[in-house]
Structure 1
Amino acid sequence: MKFSAIQVGVLALLASTNGAYAQQAAAPAAQAANNESTVVPEVLITATKRTTSLQKTPVAVTALDAAALEDAHVQTIQDVTHLVPSFQATGQGDHGVITMTMRGVGNDSAKTEYADPEVAFFVDGIYSPRPEGATALLFDVDAIEVLRGPQGTLWGRNSTVGAVNMQTVKPKLGVVSGTVSGGLGDYSRMGARAALNVPTGEHSALRVALIHEEHDGYVKYQTLPNISIADQRAAYLASGGDPAKFKPINPNNYVTNGPRYNAQNQSGVRVSWLYQPSDRLKWNISYERFQDRGTPSMNLMQTPRAGQDEWSALIDTAPFLHRNVNTVRSRVDYLVNPDIAFAYIAGFSKFSGSSTYDQDGGRLLPTSFTTGGDFQANNTVWSKYKSNSHELQLQSTGTREIDWQIGAYYAAEDNGIRFDIPIMHGTQDGSVVWQGSFIQPKETVDSRAIFGQATWNLAGGWHVTGGLRYTSDKRTNEGGNGYTWNYDPNVPQLPVTPNIDPTKPGQGYNPSVPSNDGRYKGSKMTGLARLSYDIDKNHMLYASVSTGYKSGGLQDGGRTYGAETLTNYEFGSKSTFLGGALRINNAAYYLDFKDFQFSSPVTNPDGSHTFVTSNVDGAKVWGLESEIQAKLSPDDKVALALAYTNTKLGYLVAGSNDYSLPFCPELNATCLDVTGNTMPHAPKFSMQLNYQHTFRLADGNSLVPRVSAHYETKSELSVFNLGPEDQQKAYTKFDIGLRYQGPKQFWVDAFVRNVGDKRIKTSAMNGGNVWVAQYLPPRTIGVNAGIDF
C-alpha cells in the first residue's frame, strides 16, 4: 500500500502522542457538567458576525457543536443536511461535488466554474467559492452554523437563500492538550484523526490537526453478458456496417477489478497558529492541505438489470479522482478602544484536480462493437481554481443603545478547466456519436462590496435592525472555447483523450463560433430590516424582510445572463421553558424568488452541445420550521427538527440533455413546460429526531446509546417532475450509536448508519431513456476509539 505525505504524517502523530481528536470530545469537564444538568446548555453563535447567544439572536440558525457533529458522524456537508430543517444536498458524480439547496432554492449545476451556488459556504468566515470546498472533510471542527434566509448584508457573496459557516478549532494559549483516535468499519473502512495543541511562547500557541479516512467503493463491477459472435455480426450488418471491418466486442474494454466507484480516500492536515501579545490584539492564521484520491460516485440504474445487484454497474471507464486543495486563512482582531473593535479577515485557496467518470454507466448493452449501447466518458482533464478574499470590519463592542458594524470586502477568482466528453456508438471502439472538448483557460471573478448594519436597542425590549450592502461584480472569459468533432472522414474515429489537442488543425475538431470570450459587469444593493421584541428573558419574537442576490455571469459563446434575486419575509420566535430544560425556536417564511438562473447541458439545432444558463421567471416558496431541544432528565437528551416547505415554479420552458424530453417545434429542440411544478429537493414535510440516554457506571464511566431518525415526504429530483423515477419517495432512515466513556478520557464509539439499508436517491436522470440515480450510502457499520489528554 502506498501512503501519501499526509497519511504518513497522520501515522507519525498517532505514534508520538497520547491524545484524541478534539472534535470528537468537547471539554470533558464541561461535558460532564452538561450531562448532570437538567438545563439545555447555552449555545454561542456568530451569525451576526459578533458572538451572541443563540436564543437572543433573531435569525433562523441551526448551531451544531463538536459533540453533535461527532454523534452524527459528520464528515462532509452532505452529512449535515439531516440535522438542519429545510436543508438538502445533492451528490454530483462527474465532478464529484456536493450542491446545496435550502428552503427549496438551489442549483444542481453549480459544480464547476460555470455556475455559483445559492447557499454560500464559509470556513472561519471566509467564503469558499467553488463547490469542491464543501466536499472536503470537516475535521477538527468546533461548530457549524447553518443560517437560513438571505444573509447577503453581513455574509456577502452568493448567500442568496442561506449560508453555512464552519468554525475550526483554534489554538489555546498556555495549554498542552491533544487527542488521537482511529476507526474501522465495513467496506474496509479505516480512519485516523489526531490533534495537538502546544504553547510556542507566552503569547502564542500552535495547533496541528490531521485526518485520513478511506473505504472501498460501494459499486461492484458487472461482467459483460455473453453475446455470441453471430449475433454481434448480425447486428453490425443490420446497421449497414462494412463486413470487412467487423470485429468482436473487446471484453478488455470493460473494467472488472481495481478501485470501485463511490470509494473514499481523503486526507487533510491543518496547522494553526495564534499570536496574542495583549488583550487588545489577536492573530489567528492557518494553513490547510486537503487531498482526495478516492473515486467519483456512480449513477446507478434505478431498476437493476436482471440478475444484477442494485449497487453494481457495467463499467467501461475506470474511476479516477485526483484533487489537491491548499488554503491559507488569517484573521486579525484589534480592540481600538473599549467601544470599537477592528478585524481583518483574509483567505487564499488554490485547487487543482482531474478525474475520469463513466457517464453511460452501462445502462444499455451493446449489440456489437458499434451498435446497441453507447460509450460516454465525462473526463476532467485538468481544473484549477484560485481565489483570494479580504474583508475589513469595524464594529461596536458590548451592548449599547446602538450596536453597529461596517465593512468592506474584496474577492477575486482565476479559474480554468478542460472537460472532455467522448460519446461512441456501442463501445469505445465504435464510431463517434458526438464528442467535444471544453477548454476554458482563464475565467476571472472580481467582486467588491461595502456594507453596514446597526441595531437600535430601544426601551421595553424592542430592537430595530437595518442593514445595506452594495456589491459590484465583474467577470471575464478569456481564450476559452468548445471544440466539437467535425466528422472528418480522414481522421480516425477515436475517443478524445488528453493526448489529443483539439485546438490544432487536423485533429478532427472545429472551434465553436463565437468563442467563449466575454465580459460581464453588474451591481446590486441588498438589505435587511428587522424588528425584534424581548417578551422577557426567556421569550423573543422577530419579524424581518431581507433580500438576497447572486451575480449574473458568462456562458458558452460569451453570452451573458443576469443576476437572480430573492426577497424573504420572515416571522420567528425563540423560547425557553421549564427553567431552561426546553427550548423551542420557530420560523415562518415566504420567499419571492426572481430571475432564477436555470442551467443545463443542451443540444443546439446545429448539433453542437453547450451549457446554457437562462434567467427565468423564478418561484414562490413558503414554509414553517421548528427546532426543539430538551433535557428530559440529567441523563436524557432529545432534539427534534421539523420543516414544512411549499414551492411553485414560475414560467419556465426547460431543456436538458440529462433527460429524455419531447420535441418542441417552436424551439427546434427537446424541452418541457414546467411552469407551476414543484422545485427539486424540497419535500413537503421533513423531521429529524435525535435521542440519547446516559447510563452512569462505576468510577465515573458511562455508556450512552443514541438513536437518530429522519423522515421526509416524497421530493422531486428535477424541475421536470417526471414521475416516480424522478422522485425520492417518502422514507424513514435510522442511525444508531453506542458510546463508552471510560477511565482517563478513553472512549469507544460504535455506530450503524442507514440501519434499514434504504436506497435513498439524491438525483436522477434518464438521458438514455433509462433511469439512473445517485444514492446516499448503503448501510455502514463502524467503530472508533480514542483518548484525550
Structure 2
Amino acid sequence: MIKKSKMHKRLACTHGAMLALSAAMPIGTAVAQTAAAPTAAPQLETVTVTAQRRKENIREVPVSVTLLRDEKLDVMVSGGQDIRVLAGKVPSLNVESSNGRTFPRFYIRGYGNTDFSTFASQPVSLIYDDVVQENPILKGYPIFDLAGVEVLRGPQGTLFGRNTPAGVVKFESEKPKLTKIEGYYNVSLASHMTANFDGAVNVPLNKEWAMRVSTLRQHRDNYVDNSFTGRKDALDGYNEHAERVQFLYAPNGKFNALFNVHQRTTTGSSRLFNANLIKKGTNDIVDGFDAGQSFTNGQNFQYLSSNGGSVRLSWDLDGVKLYSITGYEAVGKYLSRGDIDGGVFKNIQPNANPTPFDVESAGGISGVKQYTQEFRAESKNAGPLNWQTGLYYFNEDANGYKDSFNSTSGAQLDHLVSHQKNTAWGTFASVNYAINDAFTVRGGLRYTADKKEFNTVEAVNVVQIGPKGVSESKHKVNWDLSGSYKLNKDVNVYARIATGFRAPSIAAANKNTPITVADAETILSYEAGIKADLMNRRARVSFSVYDFDVKNQQLTVVGGNSNVTRLINAAKTKGRGAELDLEGFVTPSLKMSIGGSYNFTKIDDASLTVLKCNGCTITDPINAAGLVQINGNPLPQAPKWIVNGTARYSIPLADGEMFVFTDWAYRSKINLFLYEAVEYSAKPLLEGGLRVGYTWQSGKYEVAAYGRNITNTRRVTGAIDFNNLTGFLNEPRIWGVQFKGNF
C-alpha cells in the first residue's frame, strides 16, 4: 500500500475532487474535461488545535490562534531556512536574531524582548513537543517532520509553562504509528550550493511498539567575499544537522508512552555586520553597497551543539485522563564570535572615518541544563462541566561568558563568566462549563513561584561595580476568563480576558556597569473575535481585536555610546490591534489565503530615558543630561502592519497534477531600538516565494522548482548603534529544485 504524507494526502484528496468537478464544467474552462459524474465542491479540512491543552476544533477555541502545517509549512523551509522564516507568515508574529541561525527572538503583537544575553528571558514562550524551551539558544531547533506549528496570541499563563504573557509558539512533531512502515524523503539544491535533505521513517516494531526516526541535513557554501583579507567565498555559509528519534509504547487503549530524544549541531558564520551600511541622515542602504562583499578584519564564526529528551505518559481512566510530561534539554557548547563594529571601513560614505575599528566580541555558553516536569489531569465528562488541573516544575542551570577582542591585533581584552540558577513551580486549574448548547464559559487560575540566583564566576579585565551576585524571587497568581457563543453551526463568537506574568530578569555586568535586574512584568489583555466556516466549508475566516496593558515591562538597553547591555522597566506599555485569517477555494483549482494584523504599541513612561546612539540622527527629545526620552515610542521590532498571503493553482495532467504556489509576507517599518532615529527606522519589507511543480501517483512523488525572496529585496533588519552605522540584512534570493518521495 502506498504511503502518503499528510501534505500529499491533502493534495490527493483535493486533486480527486478537482477531476470529478471538471467533468461537469463546460468546454472552455481551465480544468481538463472528463466524462466523470459531478461531485461536491472541495471543502476545507476541519482543523484541530491544542491551544487549550485539549484537541478542539479551531473554530471553537476562544483564543486568537493560527495553525501552519502541510504545504504552507513545507514551502517556507524548502530553501534551508531556519526558524526566522516564520516572521510575518502569520498575523502579529515577528522573529529576528542578531546571531544568525541561532538565538532567535520572538515577538507577538509587538510584544517581545531584544535582549541577546546568555540569560535572556522572553515573553513569547516556545514549546516543542510539550516541553518549554526557555533559554533563547534552545528556541532555534530546526523545522522538519512536523505535524504543525500553532501560534497562540495573547497571554497563555494559565495552561502553559511559564513566562507566556505575549503568547506561545507551539511545535508538534509527527508521531510514531503502529500501523505500517512508512516515511518520506525530501532533497533540494539551490543557489550558493544550498543543499537540504530531510526525511523520516516510521517502523512498527511489534503490536505494542513503534519507532520514528527523523533527520535533517542543511548546508550553504560561503558566498560572501572578505575584501579586507582578499579571501573569496569566505563568509555566510552554514552546516546544520539534527536528528529526532521517538518510540511509542501503546499496549492497550488505556495507556501509552512516547519517548523522544533529539540533538542539533550547527557551525558556520555568525551574523555579518556591515560597517557604514546605512546612509547617514536616511534609512537607506548606502549607495554602492555590495551584499556579496564584506570588509572584516576580525573573526566570524559560530558553533552550537544541543540535545534533549522527553517522556510523555498518558493514562485513560474512563472519566479522567492523566498525563506526565518529563523534559530535559541541554546545551553542550555554544560560541558566536563576530566583528560587531562591521569590520574595516569601506570609503563609500562621505566624511566617514576611514580607519579600521577594533571592536570584536564573542558570547558563549559552556553549559545549560534544563529539567521540567508536569503532571496534569483532565476530565472526560459527557455533561456540561469539564476541567483540567496540574502541577509544573522548572529547573535551569546555565553558565555563560562573553569576551571582547582587538580585531586589529587579535588580542583578547577581557573575559566575563556568569552563572544563573533558576527554579520555578506552579499549580493550575481550568474549568469549562456549557451553559447550553450554544454558550460555553471557561476560566482558569495559576499560581507561579519563581526564583533566580545569579553571580559572576570570573572577571578578567572587567571592573565590576556593585555586588558579584544577586537573588530574585517572585510569586504570582494569573487568571483568564472567556466565553464562546455559537451563532449557528458554522459561526462562533468569543471574548476573553487574560493576565500574564514574566519573572524578574538579570543581566550580567559589563565594564564599569553593575549586574542589572528588571522587576517582574504583568499584562492584562482583552480580546474578542469571530470564527466561521463559510460557503459550505469552502472557506474559513477568523477575526479578532485586542487591547492590552503591560506593567513594568522589561526592556533591554543595548549600545548607545558603548557596547553595553542593561535592563530597565517601563512603568507601562500599551498595545491594541486586530488580526485576520482567511482561506478558501476561489475555484476548485485555485485555493488562496490571506492574513494580516494591525499592531499598535506605545511606551507609556514619562520618566524613562536611554543613552543616545553614536553618529545617528535622533528624532526624540533629549533632556539636559543628554539622555533620550522614549515616552510614546513604539516597542522595537514591532511592525504596525503585517500582511501575508498564499495562492495555489493546479491543473490535472496525465496521472498527476501540475501546480503553481506562491506566498508573500509584508511587514511595515520597525524601530530597531527603544529610541527613534532616522537611520534606525528599518524600511518596510516584502518577500515572496514561488514554486512550480508536478506531483504524481496520488502524491507519492513531487518535483518542483522554487525561489525564495524572488524579488531579491534587501533590507536592514538589525543594527549596532554605538559607532559607524553598522547594520545587517535579511536573507538573499535563492533559486532551487526539489524532489520529494513517500513510501
Q: 2:416 aligns with which of 433, 438, 441?
A: 438
Local SS of the residue matching 2:252: coil
Q: 1:756 to 1:664 in 2, by over 3 A?
A: closer
TM-score by length of 1: 0.83
**Structure 1 position 569 matched with structure 2 position 547:** no
**Aligned letter for 2:632?**
G
Q: 1:255 to 1:390 in 2, by over 3 A?
A: farther
Q: 1:330 to 1:42 in 2, by over 3 A?
A: same
Q: Which moved more, 1:123-132 or 1:649-658?
A: 649-658
**Structure 1 position 714 matched with structure 2 position 669:** yes
Matches within 5 A, 1:278-297: 278-297=252-271
Provide the C-alpha distance between the structure 2 equivalents of 1:168 and 1:461, rounded to a whole number of angstroms.
34
Q: Which moved more, 1:448-457 or 1:645-654?
A: 645-654
Q: What does residue 29 of structure 2 align with? A: none
Provide the C-alpha distance between the structure 2 equivalents of 1:510 and 1:104, rounded to a whole number of angstroms.
35
**Structure 1 position 641 matched with structure 2 position 646:** no
Q: 1:512 aligns with which of 464, 470, 475?
A: 464
Size of the aligned set, in residue pairs, is 698
Q: What does residue 766 of structure 1 align with? A: 721
- Does the 8 A contact of 2:608 with 2:630 survive in 1? yes
Structure with the larger helix share: 1
- Does the 8 A contact of 2:341 with 2:720 survive in 1? no
Q: Which moved more, 1:387-396 or 1:124-133?
A: 124-133
- Give the superposition deviation at 1:307: 5.2
Provide the C-alpha distance between the structure 2 equivalents of 1:32 and 1:279, rounded to a whole number of angstroms.
35
**Structure 1 position 302 matched with structure 2 position 278:** yes
- Does the 8 A contact of 2:118 with 2:365 survive in 1? no
- Does the 8 A contact of 2:622 with 2:628 survive in 1? no
- Does the 8 A contact of 1:23 with 1:70 survive in 2? no
**Structure 1 position 89 matched with structure 2 position 66:** no
Q: 2:320 aligns with which of 332, 337, 340?
A: 340
Q: Deviations over 1:482-517 (max 9, x none)?
A: x3xxxxxxxxxxxxxxxxxx3xxxxxx255243431
Q: What does residue 505 of structure 1 align with? A: none
- Give the superposition deviation at 1:27: 6.5
Q: 1:62 to 1:291 in 2, by over 3 A?
A: same
Provide the C-alpha distance between the structure 2 equivalents of 1:76 and 1:714, rounded to a whole number of angstroms.
22
Provide the C-alpha distance between the structure 2 equivalents of 1:632 and 1:307, rounded to a whole number of angstroms.
44
Q: 1:685 aligns with which of 634, 637, 641?
A: 641
Q: What does residue 193 of structure 1 align with? A: 198
Matches within 5 A, 1:647-726: 647-651=601-605, 653-655=608-610, 671-699=627-655, 701-723=656-678, 725-726=679-680
**Structure 1 position 152 matched with structure 2 position 157:** yes
**Structure 1 position 329 matched with structure 2 position 310:** yes
- Give the superposition deviation at 1:698: 1.3
**Structure 1 position 524 matched with structure 2 position 481:** no
Local SS of the residue matching 1:154: coil
Provide the C-alpha distance between the structure 2 equivalents of 1:561 and 1:99, rounded to a whole number of angstroms.
18
Say what the alpha-carbon RMSD is for the aligned residues. Answer: 2.8
**Structure 1 position 106 matched with structure 2 position 82:** no
- Does the 8 A contact of 2:15 with 2:657 survive in 1? no
**Structure 1 position 549 matched with structure 2 position 523:** no
Local SS of the residue matching 1:680: coil
- Does the 8 A contact of 2:650 with 2:660 survive in 1? yes
Q: What does residue 242 of structure 1 align with? A: none
**Aligned letter for 1:214?**
H
Q: Can you give the 5+ residue segments of structure 2 that lack an aligned partner in the other structure?
A: 20-40, 280-284, 348-352
**Structure 1 position 581 matched with structure 2 position 535:** no
Q: Can you give the 5+ residue segments of structure 1 that lack an aligned partner in the other structure?
A: 1-17, 224-253, 484-501, 503-508
Q: 1:637 to 1:308 in 2, by over 3 A?
A: closer
Provide the C-alpha distance between the structure 2 equivalents of 1:447 and 1:389, rounded to a whole number of angstroms.
10
Provide the C-alpha distance between the structure 2 equivalents of 1:640 and 1:323, rounded to a whole number of angstroms.
36
- Give the superposition deviation at 1:82: 2.3
- Does the 8 A contact of 1:221 with 1:260 survive in 2? yes
Provide the C-alpha distance between the structure 1 equivalents of 2:542 and 2:464, rounded to a whole number of angstroms.
54
Q: 1:67 to 1:379 in 2, by over 3 A?
A: same
Provide the C-alpha distance between the structure 2 equivalents of 1:77 and 1:622, rounded to a whole number of angstroms.
26
Q: What does residue 350 of structure 2 align with? A: none
Q: Which moved more, 1:299-308 or 1:320-329?
A: 299-308
- Does the 8 A contact of 2:560 with 2:614 survive in 1? no
Q: 1:611 aligns with which of 541, 565, 569?
A: 565
**Structure 1 position 474 matched with structure 2 position 480:** no
Provide the C-alpha distance between the structure 2 equivalents of 1:513 and 1:160, rounded to a whole number of angstroms.
32
- Give the superposition deviation at 1:767: 1.5
Provide the C-alpha distance between the structure 1 equivalents of 2:354 and 2:657, rounded to a whole number of angstroms.
64
- Give the superposition deviation at 1:160: 1.1
**Aligned letter for 2:215?**
L
Q: Deviations over 1:19-65 (max 9, x none)?
A: 99958645675565676752111111111000011111111000011
- Give the superposition deviation at 1:131: 1.4
Provide the C-alpha distance between the structure 2 equivalents of 1:211 and 1:781, rounded to a whole number of angstroms.
20
Q: Deviations over 1:703-730 (max 9, x none)?
A: 110111223332222221212x212223
**Structure 1 position 732 matched with structure 2 position 706:** no
Q: What does residue 264 of structure 1 align with? A: 238
% identity of equivalent residues: 22
**Aligned letter for 1:632?**
V
Matches within 5 A, 1:389-404: 389-397=372-380, 399-404=382-387
Q: What does residue 243 of structure 1 align with? A: none
Local SS of the residue matching 2:87: helix
**Structure 1 position 785 matched with structure 2 position 729:** no
- Does the 8 A contact of 1:220 with 1:313 survive in 2? yes
Q: What does residue 506 of structure 1 align with? A: none
Q: 1:134 to 1:480 in 2, by over 3 A?
A: same
**Structure 1 position 316 matched with structure 2 position 291:** no
Q: 1:752 to 1:133 in 2, by over 3 A?
A: same
TM-score by length of 2: 0.88
**Aligned letter for 2:672?**
L
- Does the 8 A contact of 2:425 with 2:448 survive in 1? yes
Provide the C-alpha distance between the structure 2 equivalents of 1:576 and 1:596, rounded to a whole number of angstroms.
38
**Aligned letter for 2:60?**
K
- Give the superposition deviation at 1:536: 1.2
Q: 1:45 to 1:318 in 2, by over 3 A?
A: same
- Give the superposition deviation at 1:653: 3.1
Provide the C-alpha distance between the structure 2 equivalents of 1:267 and 1:584, rounded to a whole number of angstroms.
38
